[in-house]
Amino acid sequence: MSAGRSEPSPVATADIGVVGMAVMGSNLARNLAHHGYTVAVYNRTRARTEEVVRDHGGEGRFVPAADVGSFVESLKRPRRIILMVKAGAATDATIQSVLPHLEAGDIVMDGGNSHFLDTIRREGELSARGLHFVGSGISGGEEGALTGPSIMPGGTAEAYASLGPMLETISAHVDGVPCCTHVGPDGAGHFVKMVHNGIEYADMQLIGESYDLLRRGLGASPAELADVFAQWNAGDLESFLIEITAEVLRHVDAGTGRPFVDVVLDRAGQKGTGKWTVQTALDLGVPVTGIAEATFARALSSQSTQREVAREVLPRDAEPWDVTDRDAFVTDVRQALYASKVVAYSQGFDEIAAASAEHGWDIDRGAMARIWRGGCIIRAQFLNRITEAYERDPGLTLLLADPYFADIVGRGLSAWRRVVAQAALHGVPTPAFASSLAYYDGLVTERSTAALIQGQRDLFGAHTYQRVDRPGVFHTLWTGDRTEIELA
């Protein structure tokens, strides 16, 4: 194979190697080369490696390899290898293919979207052989991989000392600070990336609900709403997702002349990391209602047959809607969006805190918000406020309760209630807005419905209960004379 401006193996010249020359791997390899590193590249299907080097070999120093053995041989010791292959069985197969060629101290990083439990397993297997395994989240899609992603590496501190400086160099930078830091041991990096994606789901759903409310309430065109989102993007909601929302809403379909958003089929998938965030939250017992509603909203959108039957059969009783004070309504929706967004992030950070405690990861939540400020899909000004909140109180129990966020949500509370109430009256589905408000009310309520549930459980299953007025565990003899017995 011919190299770009490179030296061929077997001499160990490469600083780092990338396996997997699909869109993410090739762009990451190019990014590394753009920053002056000599990059060994390998792909299972050889033609793909040749294609990448043919098209981009002039951008830096690449060492293309035809087989795994010569790929590993071309790397300086300790070897640093990044896998960018399909998550799941392909990742295991690729690890198995490189393993026989590695030596103690070498570092294998998986930059794919792997499940954190797979990462914990793989880290255990490789560390038993004296190798470092780094499960790393990489966010930002193909563009980010090329120009600067947000990188969330797990693994040992020793592995980070070797690999981290390179990853920090190629990551996005905000205010001169890299969007990459050592997240924590074994699965911590992939866990944080998973929650990042879950939050992304919630953020997108909340923006979608805002758009739907404004369109139906104001009867506004997508182009008019593009202006609203562009204005919001100039304020405290400034973020990549709000920015691209304006861009999508302004776009006109060339074929029909209609707004692009009106010609796109309204079905979204919910595979992978968003779903895992909710599944894992259920295991951890952490309510991530915003992310869960966003995931289920996508599932509902894809239930086309059920939606068709429902549209034909079910009554629609919504009141006609014609908002009179348009500016006030836009402000209400903006405040409801911000408050719901704070809830979604607060819940996501709760999930990170719970997993960090369970797995002993000691994750610095403020640092996570900091490395999400650039490169990734949820990049936003707002993340600075989250970092500041955790700097004020690193042990913060509840992000929502930080004085800055408590004030934001408190000031938006009545707008939030008006929006959710108006949505219900006018038949506009707002699952993420409504569940976020219900979560907020559930948090601040004096007495939750769990007291009644505990009574029910004790009656039908003798599950016992505790009392508010004295310690102990109790059971009422429901089928007998209803005396209460103390069990402990």
Q: Which residues are catalytic?
A: 193, 200
Binding positions for ligand NBP, 136-195, rule CB under 6 A: 138, 141-142
25 binds ligand NBP (CB under 6 A): yes
DSSP, res 117: H
230 binds ligand NBP (CB under 6 A): no
288: left (phi over 0), alpha (psi -120 to 50) or beta: beta
**Residues, the chain:** 488
Least Å distance between CB 43 and ligand NBP? 5
Least Å distance between CB 143 and ligand NBP? 9
Choose between 27 and 356: whose C-beta lies nearer to ligand NBP.
27
Choose between 94 and 270: whose C-beta lies nearer to ligand NBP.
94
Instruction: Fill in the per-residue mask, 107 to 126: x = in contact with ligand NBP (CB under 6 A), - = not in contact.
Output: -----xx-------------
Least Å distance between CB 48 and ligand NBP? 5
Choose between 18 and 369: whose C-beta lies nearer to ligand NBP.
18
Of 14, 16, 18, 21, the residue at the interface with ligand NBP (CB under 6 A) is 21
318: left (phi over 0), alpha (psi -120 to 50) or beta: beta
Give the whole-angstrom CA distance, residue 179 versus residue 189: 13
Chain residue at closest Cβ approach to ligand NBP: 112
Q: Which two tokens stand for residue 403?
A: 């004085």
Q: Which two tokens stand for residue 31?
A: 């990014």
Choose between 21 and 220: whose C-beta lies nearer to ligand NBP.
21
CA distances from 150 to 130, 322, 339, 385 (A): 28, 43, 25, 18
C-alpha angle 239/430/140, rounded to 5°?
30
Of 34, 35, 48, 418, the residue at the interface with ligand NBP (CB under 6 A) is 48
Q: How many residues bind ligand NBP (CB under 6 A)?
A: 22
**Full DSSP string of 316-330:** --PPP---SSHHHHH
Binding positions for ligand NBP, 80-99, rule CB under 6 A: 84-87, 90, 93-94
Which residues neighbour 384 within 8 Å (Cβ) at sequence distance 6 or greater?
Answer: 369, 373
Give the whole-angstrom CA distance, residue 385 versus residue 14: 40
Of 20, 60, 135, 185, the residue at the interface with ligand NBP (CB under 6 A) is 20
- Residues lying near ligand NBP in the complex (CB under 6 A) are found at 20-25, 43-45, 48, 84-87, 90, 93-94, 112-113, 138, 141-142
